[in-house]
Structure 1
Amino acid sequence: MAAMNLNRKKQRVDELAATTGARVEGNVDAGGIKDAEGVSLLASAWRRLRRNPAFLIGAVVVVLFVLVALFAPVLTGHDPSTRYLIGEVSQQNNPVPKARPGFPLGGDPVGRDLYARLVFGARNTLLVAVLATLTGFVGGLILGSLAGAFGGWVDSVVMRVVDIMLSLPSLLLAFSIAALFGRASQWSVILAVGIAQIPIFARLLRGAMMAQRHSDHVLAARSLGVKPGSIVLRHMLPNSLSPVLVQATMVVATSIIDAAALSYIGAGNADDTQPEWGQMLGQAQNLIDSYPHLAVYPAICIIVVALGFTLMGESLREALDPKSRR
């Protein structure tokens, strides 16, 4: 009985070997899949992204937002700070002008074109969000590079500073930094929001560089006598930037929300000749019962744009993450 079972197993192995050999001769591997040309990480990520509805929706929102910000003067023929409808505002029974030809969304409480302020608000919102993200990225790049490259006591000191900053909510930290400035302005908002984002970039970059310290190409460079500075700048840092750049896309959304929150509570830019969505939202709170559209329009803009950056950032992270590939 044992001999019969052994003969059956040998026969089965011979059949599998013959089948495998036939597949190899037909240019098919053992799994029955034809040989395919290899693709790069970016090409593979793009193949997944272009079939991802979340990424496409986010990309469309972001592109439209950037185009509106860049071509704001073309999209509206009115200046956002000129009081075109001030004559009607002076009437006690008409504190907020209604929509009419030339003013599709009407005016604000001081007679300025609400549509023009929303369009130009996209430009200032984009400026604040991008510059704040760059501030956080540069600061995090410096701290994360120091911690990841040197390790030891340098890593301990930098990470303790980062932990202290992370112990506070980003909005509370941004408000505390903004309060240090004598007079609130657009630049104070940029610096406050940007500094609050530094620990996110620093911790992410430090983790990526720590993983690179023991990689084969870094060990090979050390064995060849390459200087530590060159190893960090030419080998470790470039290979650690991918997750940080993806994170920057999502930080733009956070920066938009934090900047709007600072402006809403009065810690933002006090110059209303430079409209910004959070500033408009704060100015509308006294009239929200009678004229809710003054707050609804900028709120919708903030939500949609922040959602667009978040969808695009999450899709990029999943597409570039080897663990999420199928």
Structure 2
Amino acid sequence: MQRKKDRIDALAQQAAGVSADVPDAGKVADTGGVSLIASAWRRLRRNPVFLIGLTVTVLFVLIAIFAPLLAPHNGHTGYLLSQVTPDDPVPGGQDGFPLGADGQTGRDLLSRLILGSRQTLIVGVCATLAGLAGGIVLGTLAGAFGGWVDTVVMRLVDVMLSLPSLLLAISVATLFGRPSQWTLIVAISVVQVPIFARLLRGSMLAQRASDHVLAARALGVKRGPITFRHMLPNSLGPVLVQATLVLATSIIDAAALSFLGLGNPDDSSPEWGQMLGKAQDYFDVAPRLAFWPAACIVVVAFGFTLMGESLREALDPKSRR
């Protein structure tokens, strides 16, 4: 190999008319290759949009994980109940309770916001993972088998996509006799399945025509190893990036369903959408009860969206700058 390389360098020097007295002239520096992930990270760490989204997401996750330690009070004790009067049904901010009470129950609003981040994260992550798992199954079947299997799966996906996502989630949630956190997760995950299935199916169809898959088929490799060793691993990149965007949608959908009363009815475990629904009873006298959970939902969804869009641009060759 070294002899061949020296010969190529010599031919390059002769073609360029370079004198043999300059041994390094005409040679190309031998630099190591850069992986797709490393190349994407080089662009992402200089992208302010990604850094803002990453900061918001990391802060949200850390607050959700350490919520019981960060909350100044527990979320179910009416510390300010004695201050509730007909003239002031919702006590405002004061020492030790900067955001005041959450209503006539006198519970600390700030503590419930912090504790509610954990429930919101659990619902969003579990719903996204469940939707991702279902989408991978359907997308793999459609992309690997093709034919009538692809037709049946895609017609099912088209029917699900033809319905508005929130309407479909409400329809699924109402099928359960008693609303709970898990019915909320199931309803949202069903909405996300066709998104992942269609995206994975398209990626796998592109992989079916690639050279390495055609070479494996020519060598007699069976469909199973080709699908799970070659096609599926190389098709998951866009799907995983899409999961960050879907996570933001899952948080918004969870808040919408909880606002409509289809979430966990037990308010001892606060959740931002649930708090937003309870706040409408006091909107005339204390609009801040609706502002704070709504602001948390918007900021967190905005952070996940910024991070997901930046990841998609960094990993997409067509959008690289």
Q: Do Structure 1 and Structure 2 share a fold, with TM-score over 0.5?
A: yes
Question: What SS does the aligned partner of 1:164 have?
Answer: helix
Shift, 1:26, TM fit: 3.1
Shift, 1:38, TM fit: 2.4
Alignment of 1:276-315 (within 5 A): 276-315=271-310
**Aligned residue number for residue 94 of structure 1:** 88
Question: What SS does the aligned partner of 1:156 have?
Answer: helix
**Aligned residue number for residue 107 of structure 1:** 101
How well do the aligned residues superpose, as a CA RMSD in angstroms?
1.8
AA aligned to 1:244 is V
Shift, 1:97, TM fit: 1.3
In the alignment, does 2:206 pair up with 1:207? no
AA aligned to 2:201 is R
Question: What SS does the aligned partner of 2:250 have?
Answer: helix
**Aligned residue number for residue 319 of structure 1:** 314
Alignment of 1:176-325 (within 5 A): 176-325=171-320
Give, in whole Å, the separation in 1 of the partners of 2:92 and 2:115. Answer: 20
AA aligned to 2:133 is V
Shift, 1:221, TM fit: 1.2
Give, in whole Å, the separation in 1 of the partners of 2:126 and 2:51. Answer: 25
Cα deviations by residue, 1:168-199 (Å, 9 ceiling, x for unpaired): 11111101101111111111110000111000
Unaligned runs of 5+ in 1: 1-16
Contact 1:27 1:35 in 2 (8 A): no
**Aligned residue number for residue 13 of structure 1:** none
Give, in whole Å, the separation in 2 of the partners of 1:60 and 1:181. Answer: 37
1:60 to 41, 49, 55: 55
Cα deviations by residue, 1:15-70 (Å, 9 ceiling, x for unpaired): xx9995559963466xxxx6643211111000000011110000000000000001
Give, in whole Å, the separation in 2 of the partners of 1:290 and 1:70. Answer: 33
Give, in whole Å, the separation in 1 of the partners of 2:193 and 2:100. Answer: 40
In the alignment, does 2:180 pair up with 1:165? no
Give, in whole Å, the separation in 1 of the partners of 2:23 and 2:208. Answer: 41
Cα deviations by residue, 1:184-217 (Å, 9 ceiling, x for unpaired): 1111110000111000000000000111111111
- Judged with a 3 Å threshold, the aligned counterparts in structure 2 of structure 1 residues 18 and 178 are, in CA distance, closer, same or farther, namely same
Contact 1:80 1:117 in 2 (8 A): yes
Question: What SS does the aligned partner of 1:51 have?
Answer: coil
- Judged with a 3 Å threshold, the aligned counterparts in structure 2 of structure 1 residues 220 and 19 are, in CA distance, closer, same or farther, namely closer
In the alignment, does 2:152 pair up with 1:153? no
Give, in whole Å, the separation in 2 of the partners of 1:39 and 1:124. Answer: 40
Deviates more, 1:218-227 or 1:251-260: 218-227
Shift, 1:245, TM fit: 0.2
Give, in whole Å, the separation in 1 of the partners of 2:58 and 2:119. Answer: 16
AA aligned to 2:101 is G
**Aligned residue number for residue 9 of structure 1:** none
Give, in whole Å, the separation in 1 of the partners of 2:89 and 2:49. Answer: 42
Question: What SS does the aligned partner of 2:120 have?
Answer: helix
Shift, 1:122, TM fit: 0.5
**Aligned residue number for residue 130 of structure 2:** 135
Give, in whole Å, the separation in 2 of the partners of 1:169 and 1:161. Answer: 15
AA aligned to 1:286 is D
Alignment of 1:11-30 (within 5 A): 20-21=16-17, 26-27=25-26
Cα deviations by residue, 1:215-274 (Å, 9 ceiling, x for unpaired): 111111111221211111111110100000000000000000000011111222111111
AA aligned to 2:87 is N
* TM-score when normalising by structure 1: 0.90
Shift, 1:93, TM fit: 1.7
Contact 1:264 1:279 in 2 (8 A): yes
Unaligned runs of 5+ in 2: 1-12
AA aligned to 1:26 is A
Stretches of 4+ moved more than 2 A in 1?
Answer: 17-29, 34-38
- Judged with a 3 Å threshold, the aligned counterparts in structure 2 of structure 1 residues 149 and 94 are, in CA distance, closer, same or farther, namely same
Contact 2:16 2:26 in 1 (8 A): no
Contact 1:72 1:123 in 2 (8 A): yes
AA aligned to 2:217 is R
In the alignment, does 2:125 pair up with 1:125? no
- Judged with a 3 Å threshold, the aligned counterparts in structure 2 of structure 1 residues 256 and 24 are, in CA distance, closer, same or farther, namely farther
Give, in whole Å, the separation in 2 of the partners of 1:173 and 1:81. Answer: 33
Give, in whole Å, the separation in 2 of the partners of 1:233 and 1:263. Answer: 38
Deviates more, 1:312-321 or 1:97-106: 97-106
